[in-house]
Chains A and B, each alone.
Chain A
Amino acid sequence: GENVEQHPSTLSVQEGDSAVIKCTYSDSASNYFPWYKQELGKGPQLIIDIRSNVGEKKDQRIAVTLNKTAKHFSLHITETQPEDSAVYFCAALTSGSARQLTFGSGTQLTVLP
C-alpha cells in the first residue's frame, strides 16, 4: 500500500518568514495530493491540493509543488502569520479500487510573534 512520510514533525518560524513542509510517497500511481490544516481542538480542513498533471499550484500565501519523478511534494507558506500556527497533514490518494487517502504523520507549525 501507499506510504507517506512527512518532515519535519515540528517547525518554528518567525512571523513574516516562510515555512516549508515536505512529504514523500511510495506509490508511483498516486495522482492526487491534498494538504489539510488542523487547528487546536478542531478537525482537519482542506487548504490546497494538487494533481499529478500539475507541477505547482498557488493560492494566495500558500503553494504546493509536486515532483513526480522523485515522488515528493511540498507545502510552502510565505509571509507567515500567527493564525498559520497549526498541525499540517499531507496526503496521497492510493491507486486501485479502494482509492483512499493515506496521510502523513503531521507537522506542528508554530509562528512566533
Chain B
Amino acid sequence: AQSVTQLGSHVSVSEGALVLLRCNYSSSVPPYLFWYVQYPNQGLQLLLKYTTGATLVKGINGFEAEFKKSETSFHLTKPSAHMSDAAEYFCAVSHGNNQGGKLIFGQGTELSVKP
C-alpha cells in the first residue's frame, strides 16, 4: 500500500530564508509524486510533480523538489521565502502503473513566514 509522511505539521521561516518541507513516501511500484499548495479559502493548486525523467523538478513560484529513490523522499525547497508563500503544503503520491488516479496525501505542512 502507498503512504506519504510529511515531517513537521508546522514550519516557520523568516522572509528570505530557505524553505525546506519534507516528504517521504512508501510505494511498492514506481510512484508519481506531487506537491500541492492550499492558500486560505482556496482549493489545492499543483506546485510541481514528478513522473519520470529528471529527478529535480521545478515548479511554480520558485519551488523545486528532488525525487530520491534511495531515500524514498521528495522534499520541497525554495531558496528564499516570501511572505506570500505562507500556506499549507501537501505532498501526494499516486500509482505509477497507470491504473488509477487516486491521490494519497500526507497530512500537510503549514508554512508560516516571518517578516
Do A and B interact?
Answer: no
Chain B residues in contact with chain A, CB under 8 A?
A: none
Chain A residues in contact with chain B, CB under 8 A?
A: none
